[in-house]
Chain A
Amino acid sequence: MSGTYDAIEVFLAKLFFAATAILVLIGAVTRTAGHPAIWSVDLAQAAFTWASVLGADIALRRNAHVEIDMLVRRFPLAARRTLAAAWLVLMIVFLAVLVYYGTQLTLLNVERLMGDAGLSYAWVTAALPAGAFLMLITTLNRLWRGLTGREVLSLEGRDGTVL
């Protein structure tokens, strides 16, 4: 079950990511050819927003978000567990707030059209509550599995960057 869920999410994220690259390329080629396809820019940005939020959730599940564990590493195990639980609760509250206000924002934007693509801007704003909701599930799941002893309760991130 959880394997399929992950696979679908990864597939969609890759699809949106690849679409972003292709749409930007279409925009560049048509502009150089003298017939700019302006819609490609709006669609590229919309696709990228979805790729970003899905990627953020996948990264969260893979523990790939940057964190500083210099101090925490020196704490005793029990303290680290408590801290991880507290932070997960805080993240859950934060994500719930984002889902709430993000949904409101999306409902406000149903009527607004994206520049030249003729699509509702709500398609873009919906990415935020949707992404926050997916991350909410990820954090809830981790907290639940941690508290019931199914996995080690920690935030173990990687110090990842691309700079």
Chain B
Amino acid sequence: MTPILTAIFLVLMFLGMPVAFAIGIAAIIFYLFGGMIPPAIAVQKIVSATQSFPLLAVPLFVFAGHLMNEAGITSRLIALATVLTGWIRGGLAQVAIVLSALMGGVSGSAVADAAMEARILGPAMLERNYTRGYSAAVIAVGSLITATIPPSIGLILYGFLGNVSIGRLFVGGVVPGILMTFILMGTAYFIARRRGYQPELMEKPTLGEVGRNVWKSLWALLFPIILIVGIRYGIFTPSEAGAFAVAYAIVIGALVYRELTWQKLNHALGQSVIDTGMIMLIIMFSAMIGYIITLEGVPQSATAGIAALTTNKYVTMLLLMALITLLGMFLESTVIVLLLTPILVPMVTRLGIDPVHFGLVMMTTTTLGGMTPPVGVAMYTVCGLLNCSIEEYTLEALPLLLAVIGLIVVMVFVPEIVLWLPNLVF
């Protein structure tokens, strides 16, 4: 039955049916005509998918992300990023990369970060004669850092679906996120040297200037620390942390920075409702598939299939990442996480791979799929805003994408990059 189901799903999806409905319709056919499970179970699965406390972290962090953007936190982080890296060769590219890292601590979405940077930094980069393709590429690929440094919506989804500690996943993202920042900065430095892109500031900032800007952004910089300490000491669960993040953004934005108005709050709420409706419909409908997958023993047969190829953990992971990279070129990241996590986590756990290690490697690869052509949401968003063709983007993104893929391969072979900090903290 599963092959027919897969075929129906793929045909519907690639012929333009909204993905949530392609999943739902393929699944309901199984329940209605498969003769194995009554359709009443299907609706039960849809409803029970929403009844999960850990899942509440997703809408809450989406909301918090929209709020932080409206709360005046972003503009302060831009000032800090400029002071910190503006003096390095390829100044604005460096600023964009460091800004993604700083945003990473308050926001969990690569696409939101990419859209913000394309609007604010993009025009400035074009003015300084950076090519369209390069500006778009630095902003889009750089936003991967935002999705890696905690909080991260992708990691929440992975933890929820694979039953993995979201706290450990969050902490596991810290070192890879920082490494990614330095690797992308290094790549941007070499490109700037070859092309003669100038620094943004004439001289290095004084300690006082850095201090003043750190002070102004203090509330944003403190947030990820509060988040991790809070989860570590059981002060709040990841979902409660999401509610706390919402309250934090409102208090900072309305009382400390005094930039958050009712109108902006309402706007952030409206955006979050639509974002959440979109993700939740996919989650609800794919819950029907999740049941079929378990019933038909898909994880077991997938494990057997991989075991026939190789028993080596590292080779397995590399094969899976190659598969996800390939899927990521055509499928949307959320869809990949929702469909593959329930199959892959039991499988890799059985092979002796730490699910936190695998989660970071998998989510980095999956999110990178949003930055690779021909289909990629972060890429579309940035290229749309900067008026840049996909061909131009692809050419210029290549060195940055290769740098990130290099890091992913290193992460596969050196689990400590991911696991060192969570093992230390927990």
Give residues in A with beta carbon < 8 Å to B.
Answer: 10, 13-14, 17-18, 20-22, 24-25, 27-28, 31-32, 41, 44-45, 48-49, 51-60, 62, 64-72, 80, 83-84, 87, 90-91, 94, 97-98, 101-102, 104-105, 124-125, 127-128, 155, 157, 159-163
Query: Is B44 on the interface with A (CB-CB < 8 A)?
Result: yes
Complex Cα gap A51–B50 (Å):
11
* B291 close to A (CB within 8 Å): no
- A17–B59 touching, CB < 8 Å: yes
* Cα-based distance from A16 to B13 in the complex (angstroms): 31
Complex A-B: 27 CB contacts under 8 Å: A10-B273, A13-B273, A14-B266, A14-B270, A24-B60, A24-B242, A25-B240, A44-B53, A45-B52, A49-B47, A51-B276, A52-B276, A52-B277, A52-B281, A53-B277, A59-B274, A64-B278, A65-B278, A66-B335, A90-B12, A104-B40, A124-B47, A157-B18, A159-B377, A161-B370, A163-B366, A163-B377
Contact A162 B25 (CB under 8 A): no
Q: Is the CB of A162 within 8 A of B279?
A: yes
Known A161-B334, A163-B334: A24·B56 in contact at CB below 8 Å:
yes
Chain A residues closer than 8 Å to B12, beta-carbon distance: 87, 90
B154 to chain A, nearest CB (A): 4
Contact residues in A for B236 (Cβ distance below 8 Å):
28, 32
Beyond A14-B269, A17-B59, A55-B278, is A124–B15 a contact (Cβ under 8 Å)?
Answer: no
Chain A's closest residue to B52 (CB) is A45
Q: Please give 6 more A-B residue pairs, beta carbons under 8 A apart, in addition to A55-B273, A56-B280.
A: A56-B284, A66-B335, A68-B16, A90-B25, A159-B380, A163-B154
B274 neighbours in A (Cβ, 8 Å): 55, 58-59, 62, 64
B154 contacts A55, C-beta separation under 8 Å: no
B377 CB contact (under 8 Å) in A22, A59, A155, A161: A161
Does B24 lie at the interface of the complex (its beta carbon under 8 Å from any beta carbon of A)?
A: yes
Q: A41 near B19 (CB under 8 angstroms)? A: no
Nearest chain A CB to B233's CB is how many angstroms away?
A: 11
Main SS of chain A's interface residues? helix
Distance between B405 CB and nearest chain A CB, rounded to angstroms: 18
Complex interface: chain B residues within 8 A of A160 (CB): 111, 275, 278, 377
Query: Is B17 within 8 A of A48, CB to CB?
Result: no
Compute how far the CA of A80 lies from the CA of B15 in the bound complex, rounded to whole angstroms. Answer: 9
Interface residues, chain B, with chain A CB atoms under 8 Å away: 12-21, 24-25, 28, 32, 39-40, 42-44, 46-47, 50-53, 56, 59-60, 62-63, 65, 109-112, 147, 153-154, 157, 235-237, 239-240, 242-244, 246-247, 266, 269-270, 272-282, 284, 330-335, 337, 366-367, 370, 374-375, 377, 380
B40 engages A163 (CB within 8 Å): no
Q: What distance in Å separates the Cβ of A101 from its nearest Cβ neighbour in chain B?
A: 4
Q: Which residue of A27, A58, A104 is within 8 Å of B273 (Cβ)?
A: A58
Q: How many A-B residue pairs have CB under 8 A?
A: 228
Interface centre among A10, A22, A87 (most CB of B within 10 A): A87
Tell me, rounded to whole Å, the shortest Cβ–Cβ distance linking A15 to chain B.
9
Would A97 and B32 be within 8 Å (CB), given that A124-B51, A162-B279, A163-B111 are in contact?
A: yes
Q: Which residue of A lies closest to B17 (CB)?
A: A87
Counting chain A CB atoms within 10 Å of each CB, the highest count among B40, B147, B153, B284 belongs to B284
Given known A-B contacts A17-B276, A51-B273, A94 and B25 have beta carbons under 8 A apart: yes
Q: How far is the CA of A18 from the CA of B247 in the complex (A)?
A: 11
Known contacts A45-B51, A94-B24, A162-B112; decide if A155 and B17 are in contact (CB<8 Å).
Answer: yes
- Bound Cα distance A25, B249 (Å): 13
The one of B42, B235, B282 that contacts A66, using a Cβ cutoff of 8 Å: B282
Residue of B16, B65, B333 near A87 (CB, 8 A) is: B16
Residue from the list B32, B60, B153, B237 in contact with A163, Cβ < 8 A: B153
